[in-house]
Amino acid sequence: MNILSIETSCDETAISIIHTNGLFPHATYTVLGNALFSQIDIHREYGGVFPAVAKREHARTLVPMLERALSEAKLLIADEQPLSHEITTQLSEILTREPGLDAALIHFLEQYAEPQIDLISVTSGPGLAPALWVGISFARALASVWNVPVVPVNHMEGHILSSIFDGSVIPDLLFPAVALLISGGHTELVLMRNWTSYELIGQTRDDAVGEAFDKVARMLGLPYPGGPEISKLAAIAREKNLPLFAQLPRPMLDSKDFDFSFSGLKTAVRYAIQNRELSEHDRASVAREFEDSVTTVLLKKTRGAIDHTGAQTLIIGGGVSANTHIRETFKNYFHKEYPMLTVYMPPRNLSTDNSIMIALAGHAHAEQALTPTQAETISANGNLSLQNT
Ligand code: KG4
Ligand code: ZN
């Protein structure tokens, strides 16, 4: 079947079309079209993501992304035909909260023939509620005009599948598996006893790790998003072996649970740098010490979770898993100390938000798809937990 997937949970507007052959998890997948617009340049001006701006940008770019994804998939066939008044009214009703999106979609639908799409998969949470709503309304609008079922999916499940997907198949996992999910909104250790079964065994008590990267970067005068910037500076400090500017704590390193806390670390950076003139080298040294602290804590907690659960597989996912130092440290450590453990990390292009992962999660839950009428019940849940997926 052909799945059209929509991701709008934060600051990426993404639409993919994936052809699937077989049932999850034993299917083969072909990415027919993959369109992504990153709003980062827009949010950079504000130093972070503002939900109202993200919502406006999603509404502005969803139709162009749909057009690009369908065109790549060779499913965009020109066929000019006016829509009936009944249909345009219905679309405007569904999209009533997304100004301008109805007109753009109606214009698009009047230009092209109905593509061969069998299922629409859309992120319903977690994320920024106003941003999520745009994607959900758009999914409902397409579902109603094409009469296609819709499946709402959990963004974090998407990150897990994104990490193990090799571009055409989902590998056979040895269970139990532990997933370390590190992103701008989440820091979680999740136990999987089987496919689509998730138990949250640890999480951050305050800031998410990506959020801490972004906030510390801001204190150091670096642009948004801060993760890649900190990573670059830290690499310079390691390469030049720069002296330590200030020692930072390793929060909750010795606590007996699998929880995290990063807000104290962020505060420690603030105290270390306040009222001081920082040289380029000082900033690089702080970035390195911060990255070292985060990596040490993530590694120890993950190791604890693996020992505790007897996991045979480790999956690392979420935007922060693009971090070179974290990737290398985990790879080297587990390769040496846990040679029987299979470790998955996403390819870099699938580590941050994308819609391929939303198609995979949609396929995993295809049997729970809702009819276009039932899809009215889908609502955005900014705090959606993996446990209820
Ligand atoms: O998963 P994601 O794209 O969006 C959310 O679902 O939150 O993650 C975005 C987060 C941002 O906080 C960003 O700074 C961080 O991932 N990030 C990184 C790196 N690349 C992105 N953090 C550390 N090192 C990186 N190389
Ligand atoms: Zn994400």
DSSP 333-347: HHHHH-TT-EEE---
Ligand that comes closest to the CA of residue 49: 1
Residue whose C-alpha is closest to residue 192's, from 205, 176, 206, 203 = 176
Tokens 């007109």 appear where? 103
Q: Are 178 and 189 in contact (CB under 8 A)?
A: yes
Per residue in 32-43, pLDDT tens? Answer: 999 999 999 998
Count CB atoms within 10 A of the CB of residue 46.
Answer: 10
Q: Which atom of ligand 1 is nearest to the CA of 352?
A: 3
- Give the ranges where the chain is alpha helix by DSSP (H): 40-44, 51-72, 85-94, 101-111, 129-146, 155-164, 209-219, 226-240, 263-273, 280-309, 324-337, 356-364
Residue whose C-alpha is closest to residue 274's, from 286, 262, 284 = 286
Separation of CA 4 and ligand 1 centre (Å): 25
Residue whose C-alpha is closest to residue 380's, from 184, 155, 190, 196 = 155
Of the chain, the percentage scoring pLDDT greater than 70 comes to 100
Question: Tell me, what's the pLDDT at 324?
Answer: 97
Separation of CA 107 and ligand 2 centre (Å): 31
Separation of CA 275 and ligand 2 centre (Å): 35
- At residue 30, φ and ψ (nearest 5 deg) are -125, 120
Is 185 a pocket residue for ligand 1 (Cβ < 6 Å)?
A: yes
pTM of the model: 0.96
Residue whose C-alpha is closest to residue 386's, from 213, 214, 183 = 183
Is 10 a pocket residue for ligand 1 (Cβ < 6 Å)?
A: yes
- C-alpha distances (whole Å) from 339 to each of 181, 242, 301, 325, 342 are 22, 33, 18, 20, 8
Tokens for 183, please give them.
């992103």
How far is 376 from 389, CA to CA, in rounded Å?
19
Q: Which atom of ligand 1 is nearest to the CA of 186?
A: 7
For the residues of 212-266, what is the DSSP string, one character each?
HHHHHHHHTTPPSSHHHHHHHHHHHHHHHTPPPS-----TTTT-SSS-B--HHHH
Separation of CA 281 and ligand 2 centre (Å): 31
Q: Which residue, by CA, sits nearest to atom 7 of ligand 1? A: 184
Question: Tell me, what's the pLDDT at 349?
Answer: 86
Separation of CA 233 and ligand 1 centre (Å): 16
Question: Tell me, what's the pLDDT at 45?
Answer: 85
Is 125 a pocket residue for ligand 1 (Cβ < 6 Å)?
A: no
In angstroms, the first-to-last Cα distance of the chain is 22
Residue whose C-alpha is closest to residue 269's, from 253, 291, 236 = 291
Handedness of CA 82, 137, 210, 253 (dihedral sign): negative
- Cα 192 to chain centroid, rounded: 19
Q: Which atom of ligand 1 is nearest to the CA of 322?
A: 26
How far is 179 from 315, CA to CA, in rounded Å?
4
Separation of CA 215 and ligand 2 centre (Å): 17
389 residues of the chain, pLDDT tens digit each: 999 999 999 999 999 999 999 999 999 999 999 999 999 999 888 888 899 999 999 999 999 999 999 999 999 999 999 999 999 999 999 999 998 999 999 999 999 999 999 999 999 999 999 999 999 999 999 999 999 999 999 999 999 999 999 999 999 999 999 999 999 999 999 999 999 999 999 999 999 999 999 999 999 999 999 999 999 999 999 999 999 999 999 999 999 999 999 999 999 999 999 999 999 999 999 999 999 999 999 999 999 999 999 999 999 999 999 999 999 999 999 999 999 999 999 998 899 999 999 999 999 999 999 999 999 999 999 999 998 67
